[in-house]
Structure 1
């Protein structure tokens, strides 16, 4: 079974595609606990169809004693993943419970043992991006590998390789300014975008997008010359209040704005970039959600108490995906939908809503 322990020391974002987006203070945190389904809303939600079965189940077994708790499992694309067994018997790691690390090159069909560079630590965490894996072993530091775990480089803070994986343009923590990664450092741009309370930056081909939300509503700006100049772009005022505005890039390069409400479990406001920000309605949408992720072809996928659904052509449509209310969706670098549940991870391989669903489980001997 697959689980995900809490992460007390996290400073980077989840994104659906790690390399596409940088957001201060929001890196792949565990999603909030599920709410109770609310009373019926004014616009009834269509009845979800029966969930479809998995196209394939990949149950891998690894050399981990029974006393180990469920592992942390991460994938960077449909083929490459990592599993970290980091605690035992429901307690924190100790010398009698060294961390165990495994990798897969075939989407979880088989797993290889990788020596952990610092297997005894107070807190063990795992992060991955295309071509690298980063391990946090507190208080000893970060250990990053770009050769599949054959070697690791230790740093006191995040390694240059991990920072580079967050994208060329990123927010500089605690400053609210946009920086450009030059291979060694994140340097502030000479021209800063005219966006108050900036909290997100992302890029797609030649377009750089920043966004934020303040008392007067959502704001955004774009650059087409790699941040040398900025154009303030009006964001049509949505129904309801937006507390946090996030820019996200779909697998096909389409840029979206997702306006989170004060209660993150309320259905968000949505906009899509089409030379300007166009509001995307979602008729008959559920009042509560757990996760939202652009998946390409002009579509946004949602999970929540009502199951899975997709916003298509301005309407919320339930879909028979084998993911439940507790699955949290993101998109990986290759466009694969990655759904994390309390006891498994699910890979949705394909494009748009046309996907092949694979359940991946990693269990010890």
Structure 2
């Protein structure tokens, strides 16, 4: 079956990566190469096999049926929030106040939270580890650091301090195209900026690192962007933004509209979204101090790409779920379709948000157990 083949290919690549690092005189028997029956060119001709979800977490909330479907955000595999902010396509009002709910067990049960400003012209919700942020235009922000039990009001529509603090030490300063450092109260532009024609994202890799000169720091720090010419550009700082080293991004076919930096367990990646937002993204992986292009035989022409670590990239396309691994594309038996938006959470959980439910995938790399979170209303 295709699902078994996909899992086997992923496992073989991971075993090969581990076995390449020997300790002392330990000798390992090399894994058998995949048989001809798992060649991507052949598996691509077969319809992918889809495993059903392992669990359906269906819960009915005391919400009138006139409310539209909620916006659901998960922070990790257990903590999530649901915001009901419209009725029959119209924003919240006296007859349709915004409703806020939370779950602490992965969607098995939900608890009602008090929305601090239930009536507004527009309601939005954002989450990050340790922070829940609600924007109620034009009244400002309400942020909570205790799971929604209490909120602090920020009347301006500018990002509130609690939310900015959760975005990392280094961020883009809105409206300036510059890299800034969060001081605890303000996002201050760095004295030395990367010399790039455009900036879309900046990200610092967690953990202690050692530069080529032997200095320890909390980095590296990467800034990246797509220029007006459609080419990707990136720069790396090995000393917390005091100086920058431009790092050429290898050539690729086509153009990039937005270039984002992603951090996973094995380091930093560049994901180049195409201008049409449909064609398959361009991918690069940081190896040492240079970027390497990542591509795979048989990869789809359109879809989403989410790096997972260990050189594995999850793919969602019109064909279904798959992975780029070891220079090949393989189908995966995930119950995810092109209608889902795939996201990797900080705890390693995959979230696939769809029109009818949210899927939570726990596990490692391509071996995932999926649960469907279904919210029903009265």
Please tell me the TM-score bracket, short chain as reference. Answer: 0.7 to 0.9
Look up the match of 2:261. 247
Whether the 8 Å contact between 2:173 and 2:189 is mirrored in structure 1 is yes
* Alignment CA distance shift 1:182-1:48 (3 Å): farther
Cα distance in 2 for residues equivalent to 1:364 and 1:358: 20
Matched residues in 1 for 2:230 and 2:317: separation? Answer: 29
In 2, Cα distance between equivalents of 1:198 and 1:139: 29
Give the Cα–Cα distance (whole angstroms) in 2 for the partners of residues 254 and 46 of structure 1. 33
Cα distance change of structure 1 residues 243 and 216 upon mapping to structure 2, 3 Å threshold: closer
Shift of residue 185, structure 1, vs aligned partner = 0.8
> Hey, what's the Cα distance between the residues in 2 that align with 1:176 and 1:323?
36
Find the counterpart in structure 2 of residue 342 from structure 1: 355
- 8 Å CA contact 1:254–1:298 kept in 2: the answer is no
Q: Whole-Å Cα distance in 2 between the matches of residues 65 and 111 of structure 1?
A: 16
State the shift of 1:43 in Å.
Answer: 11
Normalised TM-score (structure 2)? 0.82
Is the alpha carbon distance of 1:96 and 1:294 closer, same or farther for their aligned partners in structure 2, counting shifts above 3 Å?
A: same
Which among 338, 346, 354 is matched to residue 333 of structure 1?
A: 346
Q: 1:47 and 1:142, CA in 2 relative to 1: closer, same or farther beyond 3 A?
A: farther
Structure 2 CA distance for aligned equivalents of residues 210 and 45 of structure 1:
36
* 3-state SS of paired residue (1:247): strand
Report Cα offsets for 1:151-196 as digits up to 9, x if no partner. 1111123211111112211111221110011111110111111222
Aligned to 1:165: 166
Alignment of 1:76 with 2:75, yes or no, is yes
Post-superposition Cα deviations, 1:98-147, rounded to whole Å, max 9, x if no partner, equal 11111111111111111110111121111111112111111211111111
SS of corresponding position for 2:163: helix
Q: Please name the residue that 1:217 is paired with.
A: 231
| Inter-partner Cα distance in structure 1 for 2:365 and 2:45 | 20
Which residue in the other structure is 1:8 paired with? none
* Alpha-carbon distance change, 56 to 216 in structure 1, aligned in 2, over 3 angstroms: closer
**Aligned with 1:198: secondary structure?**
coil
SS in 1 for 2:147: coil
CA 141–114 in structure 1, closer or farther in 2 if over 3 Å, else same: same
Partner of 2:197: 196
Measured on the aligned residues, the alpha-carbon RMSD in Å equals 1.8
Q: How many residues align?
A: 322
Deviation at 1:88, TM superposition (A): 1.5
Deviation of the 1:45 alpha carbon = 4.7
* Aligned 1:48-67 pairs, distance under 5 A: 48-67=47-66
Tell me if 1:228 matches 2:226.
Answer: no
> Matched residues in 2 for 1:170 and 1:336: separation?
24
Deviations 1:284-317 (A, max 9, x none): 111111x221112211112121111111111121
Q: Provide the rounded CA distance (Å) in 2 between the counterparts of 1:169 and 1:144.
A: 20
Q: Which runs of 5+ in 2 are unaligned?
A: 1-40, 207-218
SS at match of 1:362: strand
Q: Whose radius of gyration is greater, 1 or 2?
A: 2
Hey, what does 1:302 align to over in structure 2?
315
Per the TM alignment, residue 261 of structure 1 is displaced from its structure 2 partner at its CA by 2.1
Which stretches of structure 1, 4 residues or longer, exceed 4 Å deviation after superposition? Answer: 42-46
Bigger mean CA offset, 180-189 vs 292-301? 292-301
Name the counterpart of 1:102.
101
What TM-score do the two structures reach when normalised by structure 1? 0.84
For residues 10-159 of structure 1, the aligned pairs below 5 Å read 45-155=44-154, 156-157=156-157, 158-159=159-160
